[in-house]
Amino acid sequence: MALPKRIIKETERLMAEPAPGIQAIPHDDNLRYFDVIISGPAQSPFEGGDFKLELFLPEEYPMAPPKVRFLTKIYHPNIDKLGRICLDILKDKWSPALQIRTVLLSIQALLSAPNPDDPLANDVAQHWKENEQDAIKTARQWTAQYAHA
């Protein structure tokens, strides 16, 4: 099926002016599938790490949200061990006026501001709530161990 104009234009713009700290490149053989790399935001426990993600635009896009998943292991209360992300705009708060760029920026923001009150990974969230310093330490270790190229 021909790619909708929206996806073509959006990809062009994304390549022309990428968001800082975010790289998203479509596959040659499937323009709906993107390889994404997000750099860990400064002053976060993920600083210095490069996190790989996959992003897929489903048939209904942009009426339905893109599917996004972390491929790099990450110690974060809103991201589980399969890399699934708990983020409202990826679910019921999706709007067709949002784009790949805004989604990835929101994920980057989530790395800066973990929300242990709305957890996906319960054990991590528990850790974060009970001993934030210790949890951040673990997150740093994981970043060093898994997110360095």
Tokens 């997000």 locate to 38
List the 22-26 sheet strands across, edge first: 22-26, 33-39, 50-56, 67-70
Q: Does 6 bind other proteins (CB under 8 A)?
A: yes
Considering only 95, 122, 131, 141, the residue that binds other proteins (CB under 8 A) is 95
Considering only 3, 30, 71, 93, the residue that binds other proteins (CB under 8 A) is 93
Q: Are 78 and 119 in contact (CB under 8 A)?
A: yes
Considering only 97, 113, 133, 149, the residue that binds other proteins (CB under 8 A) is 97
Q: Does 64 bind other proteins (CB under 8 A)?
A: yes
Distance CA 113, CA 3 (A): 35
Check if 86 is active-site.
yes
Which one of the listed residues 24, 36, 86, 90 is annotated catalytic? Answer: 86
Residues 72 to 91 in contact with other proteins, rule: CB under 8 A: 89
The site string for other proteins over 99-128 (x = CB under 8 A, - otherwise) reads: ---x--------------------------
Range 76-112 burial, b when 16+ CB lie within 10 A, else e: bbbbbeebbbbbeebeeebeeebbbbebbbbbbebbe
Q: Active-site residue numbers?
A: 86
